[in-house]
Structure formats: C-alpha cells, structure tokens
Structure 1
C-alpha cells in the first residue's frame, strides 16, 4: 500500500496532512490542525458579523459581507467533511489498497497506473490554477503602498483590504497586521479547499480506472470469441476431441465472465462508498457555490468603475466556477465509464457462448443498464449537464438580486 500511495497520492497525502485530514496521521495533529483552522475561520466570520450588525444597509450594498459569510460557511463545511469523514476516507483508501492487490492482470495494472497518473496531473493543475488565482487576489491590497513608493502623488492612495471586516481598532494604523491575518486566512482556506477537492478527484479517478479495467477485459474477451471460426473445430478435430476443445473454451469464457462480474461488483461497491462519503457535503457545497457566484457577479457589477478592486472578485468568480466544475466533472466521468461497460457487454458475441455464459452476460447487462452516478445528497446527479444548469440558475439568482437595487 505504501509504495503506490507514495508514488501516486503523495501530493494528496501532503495536502490532507496540512489540515489534519490524513487518516494515518497521529491523533495530536488530527486535533490540532482542524482546531487552528476553525479558530481562524471563526475570527473572520465573527468580525464580519460585528461589522454587518453595526452598519446594516441592504443586500446589494453589503454584498461583500455576504460573500465572506458564504466563504466562511463553506470553510466550516469543508473542515467538517474532513473531521467527520475520516473513517470513510480511511475505508476508501483501504479499498483502493485491496483493488491494487486483486486487479493483478497486466492490462488492469497499466490502466490503473494511467488513471492514477492522470489524477496526479489533474491535482497539480488545480493546485497551480487556484494558487495563481489566490496570488492575484493577494497582490491587489499592497498595490497602493507600492505605487506610493514608485509613483507618488500629492496625497497617499487609500489602502485596500482583502476582506471588508471590522477589527474594532484602527485598520490604517495596523494595516500590515490586518493584511497578515487576511493572508493567513486566505491561504489556509484555499489549501483546505484544494485538499478535499483534489482527494475527491483522485478517488473518483480510481473508480473510473476500475470500470476501464473491466471494460478492457470485456473487449479482450470479445476479441478472443470473434477470432473463432465457425467451422474451425470440424476441420481440425474429429469426434470427442472437438467436443473436448469446445468444452475447454466454454469453461474459460465462463470463468472469465465470473471474474468480470465479480470485479464489476467491486466497482459498484466502491462508487457507492464514495457517494456515501461525499454526497451530503457535495449538496451543501453546490448550494453555497451558486450563492457565491450570484453575489460575486453583483459585486463585480458594482465595481465596474474601480478596476483594481474588481480584479479581486473576478479571481474569486473564476475560482467559484472552477470549484463548481470540480464537483460535477468527476460525476460525469463515473457516468461515462460505467455506461461503457454496458456498450462493451452488449457487443459481446453471445451467440457463440454456452448457455451458462449467456446467463452471466445477461446479469452483467442488467447491472450496467443504468449508469452509476455520484449525487449531491441523493437528490441531484452530478454531471456536466447539471453543471450548466447550476451556472444558469446562479445567473438567474443574480438577475433577481440585481432587480432589488
């Protein structure tokens, strides 16, 4: 287990260890890291709550406050999915270890390797993308200070803050302390998001690799069957010897179909466990994501004449759409790969099989008739079609909020 985990999932292990979410970590770090994260998130949420209570106006005028509330709530859900899901994550990792010990055919190993490497590359891509957006977001606040040095004016430019919160003291006097707190909170928040979502991606990739491995065995089986010639036995064998060769072939096909059915059952069990572990949290993520997109669009619209501040929220908007995509794309992958099993089983030359083999093939076709899905709270199927639907709903909600101005 340790060898392939270090080879394929070491990035995910390091990210999860940063937030105390890796099952193999010692208990002290599992308690310390989430506690620190919860405290940091609480400080941001509490300070924002104080500000909005002191100077409540309207939802459009206090849009940035509501954006921060949504982000804080999302942070709590993310850390909860780590703390409350440790047992399920550990079980998923143990099941993956079991799969690497039972999917031992050379073709299966190669497929699982390819998908694990692809999952690693996707993780790196999202890490680079989200941290780049974070750097863009963090680069705006100190910009006036730099411009005052490089190109000074008759008066100092006003300071820009990452989060519009009430610190109950003079923010101008303690500007760099406030900026440091904002930076630490933002980095931890993004790290937590990437930790959970990248793990979700690689776990889904493993499920796709299992379906791909089963599908490849079906293709190899069909190729072997199609290579038979209808009159091959009659030409080369006589009497009982021909029957013996035919019986051996039927038995090999039958045993291969048993293995395929068993491994397909492992695929279904794994996807069900994955859906059970992340489904309810995904529903909350999607709802908050849609709220965040709508509020961010409102804030960008309000800052059209202040390009410098608007860039921060454009970066957040890109991140929100990216996060929504991350939630839906793995579900689409699972659907596509599980559907492929049905197509490949349907193409098997059943008329060349024995009766007992066709019965097994019928069971496989019945099981794969409906594709596997990942859901959000068992109410919403995660797919690219629904991703577009959710994006459209976010724009509709944005239009509704804008009409309140």
Structure 2
C-alpha cells in the first residue's frame, strides 16, 4: 500500500470502525452485515416494546402520559430509519464510497492533496467529537434515574421517592424491584443504538465533506489553469487553445461533483424527511413536557437535555447542508478570479456555462421540502415553537 494511501485512510478510521460495528460499512461481508444489523434491530425492539406498551397503557385523556411516551419511542423510530437507510441503498452507498477512495488516487499535485486532506480532517474531527458526545451523553442521561435513590440516602423522607425509570416505558415487572437490571439493560442497549446514530451521521458528514472537497479541488484547478506551476506567470494562449482539453476535463469533474451531490440527495431525502418530521414533533412535545414539570427538577433537566441533543443533531446536519450550498455557489467566484480572459472564446463559453450552473445552488433536502441550511434550521425552531404553542393551548 502506498504511503499516501495509508495517510488518507487514517482520516476515515473512526468512521470505518463505528460503521463496521453497526453493520453500515458498505464493504462488509453479507453474513457479518446481516448479523450485526439484525442484532441492532433486536436491541431496538427490546427498548421499543416497553415504550409502546407504556403508550398503550396511557388513558386517552392523559395528554401528559401520551406525550411522555412519544418523546421516548420517537427516538427509537429514528434509529430504525437511520439503520435501514444504508441497508436499502447499499449499492448506491457502495458505489459512492468506492468513488471517494478513487478520487484520492486521481489527485494531480500536492496542493490538491492538501485540499482533500483538510476536508477529510474535518470529517475525522467531527466523527471524534460527535462519537464522544453521543456515547457519553447516553449513560449520563440514563444514570439520572439514580437521583431518587441517592436523595433517599442523603435526604431521607418518611417514604421513598417515586422511582424514575431510565426512559419512559412499561417493563412488565415491578420497576423498583428490578430497577438496576432495567438500568443496566437501558445503558448497554442505548449505547449500542446510539452507535448506530453516530455511524449514520458520521458517514453522511464524510460524504458531504468529500463533495465539498471535490468542488474545492475543481475551483483550485480553475484558478490555476492559466498559470505556470513554478513561475506562476500567465501563459499566452495560442490560436489552438492548448487548455481546451484541460478545461473540458475540469468541467467533467465539476459535473461529477454535481452528480455525487444528486446521488446523496436521492439516498437521504426520504429518510431525512421522516427524521425531520419526528424531530419537529419531538421538540414540540418535549417543550410541553418541560412546562408541566413544576416540581420535578430531575425530569425537567432530562427533557432539556433531550431538546439540546435534538438541536445539536439538527444543527450539524443543517451546517453540512449550508456548507455544500456555499461550495457549489462559490464556483463562479473561483472561475472569475482566474485569468479566464487569457483563454480563447471557445474556452470562455465553457467557463460561462459552469458559472451559469453555479447560480443554482446544490443542496440536500428532506423530502424536497426542507433544505438543510442554517436558515432552515431557524425555521424548524420556529415551527416547533408554533406546535408547542398549539399543544399548550389544549392544556
């Protein structure tokens, strides 16, 4: 294996390990993938069944109980959506990932390699931070159910405080008697399920960052097309336009980046539509739950942490979507900053076509309705607050 290949593989090691453990890495053997995905599904069912059972036991008029159960099992549904997004699009995912690795081998010079490396570094940094955050937040959230037991020891009352389950659910047994068994199951199960969320989101970010790097490399090639590599002096273009083939090649690479972005849109648009709907409803319901916890501080803190987690997840997706939009629209500026006026009229027409194409931003969406951008992120917050206001009016 080449030294350069070893170097860039380093930037995807975290994503590879997490995705492999959860069965989402596209190059796993079929038996291993089926086993791990099946195991992940069964673990999801072990937490989803108590959540649904809790929902069914709620009285129709008890909105508080219904909302509490919904905040729990909606997250489990999101996990299933994320797991099977990769399984139902395995061919497209495998093709995309293969192309990602081949792009490194087609780099022309060290400057392009540094550009690609900077975006791969962003992917690795996100994967590391996101993994640590998610995998540490889950046990902390579950462990807050120990607070009543601790208070019973430090500040005892005439009777024991109500037991706070790790997550809302009906466990078919006495929860106080089997509390620690339920807690350990919750911590282990949710750690595994959260790993599925981490794998999905990290691979998505890896793909978006790679597409952005392709736009950046294409822009770099346009800016330096009319310069000598060493002396950085402008070439005098002759009548035969020696750069026409180079421009055609760069145009092909730009179209390839657009094609990849469209492929990513086709893979994730419907799953993201489901996730966005669930996230909006979940945030609205959780806000309502926070207002109803007048005296239970621990529950209020847990709901607030749940909302913060949802917002962080949504912000990362919106940030990556905004980044893709910016990179696609910056292409015209990169061309304009080059010495395009030194090219022949025929070559200039090719450049104009790309600049016109860049006027229409490349974006990722949820069901072609919600476009992932920072502006849309604020819109979701406003929508969630509107739903929360409507729900609160029924109280």
TM-score, L = length of structure 2: 0.91
Distance 1:138 1:321, change over 3 A: same
Is the CA contact (8 Å cut-off) linking 2:237 and 2:343 kept in structure 1? no
Deviating more after overlay: 195-204 vs 159-168: 159-168
Superposition pairs for residues 32-111 of structure 1, below 5 Å?
Answer: 32-56=35-59, 57-111=61-115
Is the CA contact (8 Å cut-off) linking 2:43 and 2:193 kept in structure 1? no
CA shift digits 1:12-45 (9 cap, x unpaired): 1111112111122222221122212222222322
Displacement of 1:92 in angstroms is: 1.1
Q: What's 2:253 paired with?
A: 263
Q: Secondary structure of 2:225's partner?
A: helix
Q: What's 2:387 paired with?
A: 397
Distance in 2 separating the partners of 1:318 and 1:171 = 28
Distance 1:208 1:150, change over 3 A: same
Distance in 1 separating the partners of 2:226 and 2:64 = 62
Picking from 262, 271, 274, the partner of 1:281 is: 271
CA shift digits 1:167-195 (9 cap, x unpaired): 22211111111112222232122211111
Distance in 1 separating the partners of 2:234 and 2:107 = 27
TM-score, L = length of structure 1: 0.89
Displacement of 1:378 in angstroms is: 2.8
Deviating more after overlay: 110-119 vs 348-357: 348-357
Q: What's 1:247 paired with?
A: 238
Distance 1:221 1:157, change over 3 A: same
Displacement of 1:5 in angstroms is: 6.0
Deviating more after overlay: 194-203 vs 268-277: 268-277
Q: Secondary structure of 2:241's partner?
A: helix
Q: What's 2:169 paired with?
A: 165
Distance 1:385 1:149, change over 3 A: same
Unaligned runs of 5+ in 2: none
Q: What's 1:23 paired with?
A: 26
Is the CA contact (8 Å cut-off) linking 1:133 and 1:316 kept in structure 2? no
Unaligned runs of 5+ in 1: 230-244
Q: What's 1:12 paired with?
A: 15
Distance in 2 separating the partners of 1:83 and 1:351 = 49
Is the CA contact (8 Å cut-off) linking 1:226 and 1:349 kept in structure 2? no
Distance in 1 separating the partners of 2:14 and 2:178 = 36
Distance in 2 separating the partners of 1:27 and 1:350 = 50
Is the CA contact (8 Å cut-off) linking 2:139 and 2:191 kept in structure 1? no
CA RMSD across the alignment? 2.3
Q: Secondary structure of 1:9's partner?
A: helix
Displacement of 1:349 in angstroms is: 4.1
CA shift digits 1:194-236 (9 cap, x unpaired): 110011011111111111111112222366699559xxxxxxx
Distance 1:218 1:350, change over 3 A: closer
Distance in 2 separating the partners of 1:399 and 1:222 = 59
Distance 1:112 1:226, change over 3 A: closer
Q: What's 2:310 paired with?
A: 320
Displacement of 1:290 in angstroms is: 0.7
CA shift digits 1:243-267 (9 cap, x unpaired): xx6528x634323322321221221
Distance in 1 separating the partners of 2:241 and 2:161 = 82
CA shift digits 1:317-369 (9 cap, x unpaired): 11100111122221111110111101222344443321222122122223222
Superposition pairs for residues 181-200 of structure 1, below 5 Å?
Answer: 181-200=185-204
Deviating more after overlay: 156-165 vs 104-113: 156-165
Which of 1 and 2 has greater Rg?
Answer: 1
Superposition pairs for residues 217-366 of structure 1, below 5 Å?
Answer: 217-221=221-225, 227-228=233-234, 246-247=237-238, 251-366=241-356
Distance in 2 separating the partners of 1:49 and 1:258 = 57
Distance in 2 separating the partners of 1:333 and 1:62 = 38
Equivalent pairs, count: 389
Distance in 1 separating the partners of 2:292 and 2:360 = 46
Deviating more after overlay: 385-394 vs 43-52: 43-52
